[in-house]
Structure formats: C-alpha cells, structure tokens
Structure 1
C-alpha cells in the first residue's frame, strides 16, 4: 500500500497528542515547510533581492538553513568521512552569501535533500543520544536539544522569510 504524504503544515495539529519525538519532529517539519513555501513562485532575482541592510535575502535564508541542517545532523550527530561541524560565526555568516549557480530551484532542492538526510540521521538515535559539541560552554548535546535548537533556528528564520516575502510581493502567512 502506498504511503500517504501529509502536508507538513498539518503535522503539529496531528501530533497534538503524540509522544515527545512526534511533537518535536512535526514542529521542525512545519517550520521547514514554511521556509520552503516562502520561496515558491519567486523569480531568482526576487529571492536574491536585499531588502534589509544585512546579507539576509530569501535565497540566503534557505542556503543558510541548508548549512545549519547539514552542520547539526550530519556534521555533529553522524558525520561521514570528510564532514566536520563548523562552529565559527564567520562560517555561519558565509551561508548567506549566494553563488551565481544558486537559483530558487537549486536552493529548494538542496534544502529538501538536507532535511531528508537530517530526518534519516535523527531516526537512527533516541532523543537521549548525546554527542560532544566543540563549543566549551555546551559540552555535550542530546538529539532532543538538537531538535529543539533546530526548531528555534528554523522558526526564527521562517519569521525573517515571512517579512522579506511580504516586502517582495505582499504575500504573508504560514500557508
């Protein structure tokens, strides 16, 4: 029997009586979906447009969040050969810098791949699984903490994306 795909914006509603993992994962997927929806239908030039003094653009937010996903799940939780957790502010800021090859389509596809990989990595561990973090203040972090941090990070940038999209064409809201 084919699996029915559920709109991720319904996840938090469907998980309202679910276990902790279902709630955490549904809220993260909810905010991921909002970020992706903010780019849908935009021309590349509009997604790249700087509307605030910083490097923050709609395209840059998606590129940054792609790096955040890779960093926390692949780079820290389950690195493959050659993958390293990047923990400097300079490297985090570099995620907002766009290359000529960065298009709405390529950025969304890359983000979707990174999120799918993050889900697969997270599925291998229980919420109490702990890994060392290179920042001395953090010491060790659990998968629970990583999921909560990614919800916070993605939600914050979804809010930025909402404002930028409204400034671009007047479109607002999560849906």
Structure 2
C-alpha cells in the first residue's frame, strides 16, 4: 500500500518537522510541475483580472521564500540582500516577469531559492524565534505554516491557470 501513496501522504506518521518540510516541498514541487512545459507566452498570459500569471506566481513565490527565510529567519542585514521588487506604490511588482526570463530560468531560480531556504531552516529548531516588524516575533514553526499556506494557495492558482491554458489538470 505504501507504494501507492504520494510523498506527502508517506509523512502521515512522521515527526512534526518532517511533516512540515515534506508538505512544503510537495507544494513547492506542485507549483513547478504546473509551470513545466508551458511556453513563455502562455506563462505570462493574463487570464484573471489580477496580476496573477504562471510566471508571476513563480517569481512571487521565489521572493516569498527569500523574504521569510533569508530576511526574516536568517536576519541577514537588508544592506547585504537584493532589494525586493515591490513597494508601497507597486505592491504586485513581484508578479511581473521580464520578457528575457524563460520559464526554465524562473523554475531554476525558484528551485535554487527553495534549496537555499531549506539550508537556512536546517540551522534552527522549530521553536527558534526571530523578530518580525509586523508580528513582533515569529518562530520557524510559524514560518513553515505560513509558507505552507502561501505555497499551497498559489499552487491552487497555478492549477486553475494551467487548466485554462491547455486543459491540464491534476498534480
């Protein structure tokens, strides 16, 4: 029976950290699977009134990973980090992707950032807390839960967009 289970289902009896990491990786992979094989034009197609596109979701999630793991968890000084694309005047800038970035480049950059996030998280216990300008303090546990919510929500968006583009459904 275990061979019929997907990776996330196999974590059903794992410890808390393994379960959180397994589910987050499952949704990270789901997002890239949804974008894989789509042309650059289709990945940038606007199918909903918001700025949400398949390419934009990858770019956004890359910045979300960067923000929560490198900026918040690792407390890397902002002066040592690239400046995020969004601002008060343009809060959705991270959903826009330039024409020079291929789908393969976006997937590779996202996967590289996810690997970096895993490396950073591995240095801390789930109960490790760090200051956060909006919430006061957050734990790695909270960051994992938030990233699960964020990534799963956008995986659902990607699922709908991919179905609109070419009818592809499922994982």
Compute the TM-score of the two structures, normalised by the length of structure 2.
0.89
Q: Secondary structure at the match of 1:10?
A: coil
Name the residue aligned to 2:92. 93
1:111 equivalenced with 2:110 (yes/no): yes
Structure 1: runs of 5+ lacking an equivalent: 1-8
CA gap 1:55/1:94 in 2 versus in 1, 3 angstroms:
same
Residues 37-91 of structure 1, C-alpha deviations (whole Å, 9 max, x = no match) = 0011111111111011111000000000000000000011114451389696656
1:59-78 alignment runs, 5 A limit:
59-78=55-74
Q: 1:144 aligns with which of 141, 144, 150?
A: 141
User: Take 1:94 and 1:45, find their aligned partners in 2: how far apart are those partners?
Assistant: 19
Aligned ranges for residues 15-164 of structure 1 at < 5 Å?
15-81=11-77, 82-83=80-81, 92-135=91-134, 138-164=135-161
Unmatched runs of 5 consecutive residues or more in structure 2: none
SS for the counterpart of 1:11 is coil
The answer to whether the Cα contact below 8 Å between 1:11 and 1:29 also exists between their aligned partners in 2 is: no
- TM-score by length of structure 1 reads 0.87
Segments ≥4 residues shifted beyond 4 Å: 84-92
SS of 1:95's equivalent in the other structure is helix
Aligned length: 164
> For residues 126 and 57 of structure 2, what CA distance do their matches in structure 1 show?
27
Determine which of 160, 165, 170 is the counterpart of 1:168. 165
Secondary structure at the aligned position of 1:132 is classed as: strand
Give the alignment's Cα RMSD to 1 decimal: 1.9
Tell me: higher relative CO, structure 1 or 2? Use CA pairs within 8 A at least 6 residues apart: 2
